[in-house]
A and B are shown apart, each in its own frame.
Chain A
């Protein structure tokens, strides 16, 4: 039976900002669902607060709402749009929880909206621990035994080993594994005291068992297929999101694998997910073969995205079709075209996923891996053997030099890894050890090394020579990669798939043909802090644009979460590492008319020189302009030559020299190692001692820190001569808070017309001087007396491109692609440069709660994982909504705790006065309280933790007991264990919004005072209004 005809419109809820555990995979899922639902003629409505997603592009759904993902806002949208159905399985846990909330509250019934994809009962059976246990037991299977414990005398009868998980602590803090009864006692005692509600979950531990995941799809007539099996290298005890995983499973004999397959089918039936996909996780004892069902996600998931990329079976697409009535035998397999979706994928290659961590950004945080996920992104490698796939994923992580991370070296094999994998990794290391002198290697030797998965760079490092030498020698011996198709059927069915990976010593398959001009677009690799999904957004737009312009668009990327690695997106997809070797080999095969490097963040820029050296043309800004902007000396020379100001700076080779420079240019200074990106390890120093505290890097960059300056971000389009200033954005926080972490407002509220003109002038000069062709992003600082300093220029797409495109309605990437092909700015038909009429705010989402031990303050080093956007007719309303969307709802009443560092005390007075005027009660630490009281503001002083006396509550107690609704706390200095730190951590644990800058506090308090309730408005309407206004202006 085909599609249901009784529903016409469907609302899809996204997963919101990128956070640890919920990343771009849900944009991929949402996009797939939208594509097929629209193809089938449904009217689609999207709600998602994340502007960096493709699914929130105005062209992707009939109506798009960039609204906070809370019940209130989503209900609002549902009331306006009145869809027939809500599909909650594409937006991760966020969407599922919202659907549950709206259903339970009766909103869906009231509006006559049907939940499709997963019914409420099924969601509850999967999510509720007890109901899930019951369902699993009806299948004759087991879950780990568990009990909720609130006091130590409840421990009787509980067995060890056990895992103790305290309720509501940061990142699962205070939990852990207990091997003996005594350990259990101590662990529970600690867990109870750390849990704000004095509760822990004690669960039978199966740490060290092997962990497997199965991706299951079921249709309404009870057909079940298993799309993929995934095996974790890190055994139970390390979250699957943090594990290295491999597909298909490698170590189970058929009978054991079929047992899991049967269990997965039984569980999806018992839970009752009847139209869609689910992920089911199993623990299995290597010794006894016993199995435990760990959990089931009744929705698409991170693992289902991985499984889709691993197999070429588009789970989200199929799930969306199943949700509207199709059955598995009716849905065709895209890759083969002839087989149905009930043909289970079979793989003739191996896929490995590696997590990407960012521990270096959270000093003090615990780096051990456990049951809470900590990684911020992932890479995937495809190869014909485990070794090939493993090393591709391993090197695709693009680790910063020296970054402390699991698997920093090949020798870092985790404990308890299955001997099979241990041997495989040893095999790789043996191959590395046997490299020898590259001049004497013959073709057969080269082939053996390459088949062991080694990259040219690995071989070069082992042989003590350069990568280019290795490449030259290898090619002279005639050893080149072959490309293979991912076809979901191991070659059994002829497939016209356009999805490739490389291997060695085989026949090359389906070389590109056709006479359309061709571009190769380089993606941004794994998500990481500083380089996230925004760049995937840009890449996907670039693909679409080049295809529209008559080009064949070839995509290269290695991030399985993304839309760009959907085989549906480009003309050809190479799932390969973004390194010189892979990219040049792809270029050699594709012979592109141009290579596009400006949309994938820093990753492709690093390859610019190698690409040009190999004789390929870079479309848009050439390598030299990139170098001009990135090389400090050259850039400073350029600024000087054009009379533009930048903060004074110098490069030091030793701490002493750094102090000398600092003395010369004046404190405070901003100090960082000179090679890093993303504000890594950056520090503001006020004294020579602080400068000396810097770890000894080879070259230290010292900048004059521009104090109390407004930071401005500009996105512009250049054709080498003319520049179009698309947006001048102002940061809410002052310069010194990384542009990626501070809230960003468009248009800039506090810049005068003259200042905006001056900024535009600076950007135009830079565009021409750099010779940028395409996108240009400039960051500037504007001081109180109106001086404009250039902080940096990035001749590439920036993090703010999707935000600006959505706020202004100008499709920046499309314009940049045309410029790169030679169009001139005036030919693009862009609306006149003018500030938008509506106010849009982008707010960052920070992962501090996952990293207890690391101080949750904002600074020059970026630490946010994602962002939200909100727009409104006035700034306060937009800001208020953005904060709400970011999960930091600003209170309207209650009490506020204020603790401000000494030099800023006076500036806190007007903020405090406004709060009191709004009826808030104020608490403050002694010094701050004294200043406020002196200004006639009613405030109650409270003790700091370090001033604690018996009996009297400290500020930390106050926060813990939920007596504060907002915390304003500016940090004192670099002492991580300070009182400020205790305050901020308590706020974080209690989920109380905590503002760490005065400028942020002022904006928030203004928003509290003046924000209005405004009805949701779709992006399509907003853009029409924006462009309508600008065109008639």
Chain B
């Protein structure tokens, strides 16, 4: 039997095309129409069951070049119509439960209305009641710290040549982030999530990476960021952005079902321009006043008005909730990463 069960007892039947067994995680949906392999290997999807709204998934096979990290992070994928064999073999080999034939639209409407929910994807003989019980027994994503599970254990150099030295704190970094930095002319060194501020402050600039889970329990990381801010140039992306926010006295909160997709318009307040962005977050930053007014808010979602970026010039820090590195998704915000590297280079006279 193959199905997805949510903690609330709702069940969605499908057919298994991936690994056998069952997978627990938070059921979320992403609306991007391409980039399935990137999603599954994106550490930000750690411990999640990804429902793709794209009608057909797997059409163009797989390519190891597309991996966003060294391993898969999503626990299961839920699809209306999977296409194999490349993609489904790849999933099976990596132990990912994959269901096809799921009424994904109904599932999406459910998650949208009821919120992202703990769930279990089953490709085994596990009985539905037991599955629901298991699903309900999982901890909520609210309050979960996952960074430790996905961060590198040892620092490593990603790019040796460059005009500026950028340190990246790995809370669950994506290859696309590292590639874009290198492309912009930076040397890139990746550090574990618990690297201390003094070490990081030695870089021309520090990028706080995206990553999974709730930022709130990451107190140690937020403390490090607080310590770091003002000592060098800092750019936060996604979870990195949330940590900068928490380090500067903002609250974060869980969004009902998150923003995951490749079509979210973001308003850039300084230029008045709209960026079509790649997004993948379940938590957001609460502005100190309304998002539209708070001076430090640099970017606002045109979709729900939430904070999409902060600018803290006195701390030489800025942050973006969306993913300028794309991978997958539109490249509209690529220039923001480049501009930051250039800015750092200019500041250090490189």
Which of chain B's residues have a CB closer than 8 A to the CB of A254? 32, 34-35, 38, 66, 327-329
User: Which stretch of A457-465, A471-479, A484-492 is in the interface?
Assistant: A484-492
Residues from 46 to 86 in B contacting A, C-beta threshold 8 Å = 53-56, 59-60, 63, 66, 80-81, 83
Give Cα A384–Cα B55 distance, bound, in whole angstroms.
Answer: 6
A329 to B305, CA, bound (A): 12
Bits for B198-230, please: 1 = Cβ < 8 Å to A, else 0: 000000000000000000000000000000000
- What's the interface size class on A, roughly? 35 or more
Q: Give the contacting residue for B108; candidates A250, A345, A348; CB below 8 A.
A: A348
In the assembled complex, B112 has its CB within 8 A of some CB on chain A: yes
Is the CB–CB distance between B276 and A384 below 8 Å? no
Chain B nearest Cβ from A139, distance in angstroms: 14
Q: Please report the C-alpha to C-alpha distance between residue A493 and residue B112 in the assembled complex, in whole angstroms.
A: 8
A328 in contact with B59 (CB, 8 Å): no
Q: Are B263 and A345 in contact (CB under 8 A)?
A: yes
Q: Which residue of B lies closest to A351 (CB)?
A: B55
Shortest CB-to-CB span from B229 to chain A, Å, is 31
A506→B103 contact, CB < 8 A: yes
B295 at the interface (CB under 8 A from A): no
- Please tell me if the beta carbons of B56 and A340 are within 8 angstroms of each other in the complex: no
Q: Mark A276-303, 1 if CB is under 8 A from B, else 0.
A: 0000000000000000000000000000
Whether B105 lies near A506 (C-beta < 8 A) is yes
B273 CB within 8 Å of chain A: yes
Contacts of A344 in B (CB 8 A): 262-263, 265, 276, 330
A262: B residues at CB distance < 8 A:
331
Q: Is B11 an interface residue (CB 8 A)?
A: no
Q: Is B298 an interface residue (CB 8 A)?
A: no
Known A252-B34, A262-B331: A507·B265 in contact at CB below 8 Å: no
Question: B33 at interface (Cβ–Cβ under 8 A)?
Answer: yes
- A223 and B273 within 8 A (CB): yes
| B34-A253 in contact (CB<8A) | yes
Interface flag for A420 (CB, 8 Å): yes
B60 near A384 with CB under 8 A, answer no
Chain A residues near B38 (CB, 8 Å)?
Answer: 254
Complex CA–CA separation, A507 to B103 (angstroms): 8
Evaluate contact between A342 and B80: CB separation under 8 angstroms.
no
- Cβ of A705 within 8 Å of any chain B Cβ, yes or no, is no
Question: Chain A residues near B113 (CB, 8 Å)?
Answer: 494
Are B55 and A385 in contact (CB-based, < 8 A)? yes
Whole-angstrom CA separation of A507 from B113 in the bound complex: 15
Min C-beta distance of A663 to chain B, whole Å? 62
A261 at the interface (CB under 8 A from B): yes
- Within 340-366 of A, Cβ neighbours of B (below 8 Å) are at 340, 342-350
Q: Which of A527-564 contact B (CB under 8 A)?
A: none
- On chain B, the number of residues with a Cβ less than 8 Å from chain A's Cβ atoms is 45
Q: Is the CB of B265 within 8 A of A346?
A: no
Q: Which one of A340, A506, A507 lies within 8 Å of B302 (CB-CB)?
A: A340
**A192 to nearest B CB, angstroms?**
43
Query: Chain B nearest CB: distance from A490 CB in Å?
Result: 4
Q: Is the CB of A491 within 8 A of B53?
A: yes
Give bound CA distance, A384 to B106, whole Å: 12
* A128 CA to B263 CA, complexed, in Å: 33
Contact A492 B265 (CB under 8 A): no
Shortest C-beta distance, A30 to chain B (Å), equals 27
Whole-angstrom distance from the CB of A642 to the nearest CB of chain B? 57
Q: Are B31 and A490 in contact (CB under 8 A)?
A: yes
Residue interface bits A495-508, CB-to-B below 8 A is 1, else 0: 00000000001110
Contact B267 A346 (CB under 8 A): no
Q: Are B302 and A329 in contact (CB under 8 A)?
A: yes
Q: Is B134 interfacial (CB-CB < 8 Å)?
A: no
Q: B26-42, CB under 8 A of A: which get 1 and which 0?
A: 00010111110010000
Most buried by B among A262, A384, A505: A384
In the bound complex, what is the Cα–Cα distance between A491 and B263 (angstroms)?
13
Specify the chain A residue showing the minimal Cβ separation from B104: A348
Q: Does B191 contact A (CB under 8 A)?
A: no
A803 contacts the other chain (CB 8 A):
no
Contacts A261-B331, A346-B53, A348-B53; A420 near B59 (Cβ below 8 A): yes
Q: Is B313 an interface residue (CB 8 A)?
A: no
B8 to nearest A CB, angstroms? 16
The answer to whether A258 touches B329 (Cβ under 8 A) is yes
Contact A342 B33 (CB under 8 A): no
Q: Closest Cβ of chain B: how far from A61's Cβ, in Å? A: 32
For residue A257, CB closer than 8 A to chain B, the reply is: yes
A507 to chain B: closest CB distance in Å? 4
Set of chain B residues within 8 Å of A590, measured between Cβ atoms: none
In the complex, chain B residues whose CB is within 8 Å of the CB of A339: 265, 302-303
Whether the pair A258, B331 counts as a contact (CB closer than 8 A) is yes
With known contacts A329-B267, A340-B265, A344-B263, A386–B112 Cβ distance under 8 A: no
- Contact of A328 with B66 at beta-carbon distance under 8 Å, contacts A346-B263, A507-B103 already known: no
CB of A225 closer than 8 Å to a CB of B: yes
Which of A212-252 touch B at CB < 8 Å?
221-223, 225-226, 248, 250-252
Known contacts A253-B63, A343-B264; decide if A384 and B35 are in contact (CB<8 Å).
Answer: no
- Which residues of chain A are near B349, meaning CB under 8 Å? none
Please state if B274 and A328 are interface contacts (CB–CB under 8 Å).
yes
Which residues, 288 to 338 on A, are CB-close (under 8 Å) to B? 327-329
- Whether a CB of chain A sits under 8 angstroms from the CB of B292 is no
Chain B residues with Cβ below 8 Å from A509 are 105-106, 109
Cross-chain contact B32 with A346 (CB below 8 angstroms): yes
Q: Does A439 contact B (CB under 8 A)?
A: no
Residues of B within 8 A of A225 (CB): 265, 274, 276
| Distance of A430 from chain B, by nearest CB (Å) | 15
Q: Which residues on the B side are within 8 Å of A947 (C-beta)?
A: none
CA A328 to CA B327, docked complex, whole Å: 25
Chain B nearest Cβ from A816, distance in angstroms: 39
Q: Please, how many angstroms separate the alpha-carbon atoms of A329 and B331 in the complex?
A: 19
User: Nearest chain-A residue to B52 (Cβ)?
Assistant: A348
Smallest distance from the beta carbon of A315 to chain B beta carbons, Å? 16
The reply to whether the CB of B326 lies closer than 8 angstroms to some CB of chain A is: yes
B101: Cβ under 8 A from any A Cβ: yes
> Is B261 interfacial (CB-CB < 8 Å)?
yes
CB closest chain-B residue, reference A494: B112
**Nearest-CB distance from A226 to chain B (Å)?**
8
When distances are taken between beta carbons in the complex, the residues of chain B under 8 Å from A484 are 105
| B106 and A507 contact, CB distance less than 8 A | yes
A1021 shortest CB reach to chain B, Å: 44
Residues on A with C-beta less than 8 A from B60 are 251-253, 420
Q: How far is the CA of A399 from the CA of B81 in the complex (A)?
A: 30
Q: Which one of B53, B56, B267 contacts A490 once the chains associate, using CB atoms below 8 Å?
A: B53
In the complex with contacts A342-B265, A346-B53, A250-B59 CB distance below 8 A: yes
Q: Among the listed A252, A345, A491, which residue makes an inter-chain contact with B105, where contact means beta carbons less than 8 Å apart?
A: A491
Check A343–B33 contact: CB distance below 8 A: no
Contact B101 A329, beta carbon cutoff 8 Å: no
Which residues of chain B (72-123) have a CB below 8 Å from chain A? 80-81, 83, 101, 103-106, 108-109, 112-113
Instruction: Indicate if the CB atoms of A248 and B112 lie closer than 8 Å.
Output: no
Q: In the complex, which of the residues A258, A339, A492 has the most CB atoms of chain B within 10 Å of its own CB atom?
A: A492
Contact in complex: A257, B53 (CB < 8 Å): no
CB distance from B66 to the nearest CB of A (A): 7
Interchain nearest-CB distance for B195 vs A (Å): 31
User: Could you tell me if A248 and B33 are in contact, using CB atoms closer than 8 angstroms?
Assistant: yes
Interface residues of A (CB under 8 A from B): 221-223, 225-226, 248, 250-255, 257-258, 261-262, 327-329, 339-340, 342-350, 384-386, 420, 451, 484, 489-494, 505-507, 509
Q: List 27 A-B contacts (CB under 8 A).
A: A225-B276, A250-B59, A253-B66, A254-B32, A258-B329, A258-B330, A261-B330, A329-B302, A339-B302, A339-B303, A342-B274, A342-B276, A343-B302, A344-B276, A346-B31, A346-B261, A348-B80, A350-B56, A386-B56, A420-B59, A484-B105, A490-B105, A490-B261, A491-B112, A492-B29, A492-B112, A507-B103
Q: What would 5 more interface pairs be, CB under 8 Å, given A254-B34, A328-B274? A: A329-B267, A346-B31, A385-B55, A507-B103, A507-B106
A-B pairs, 5 with minimum CB distance = A254-B35, A490-B53, A254-B328, A344-B263, A342-B265
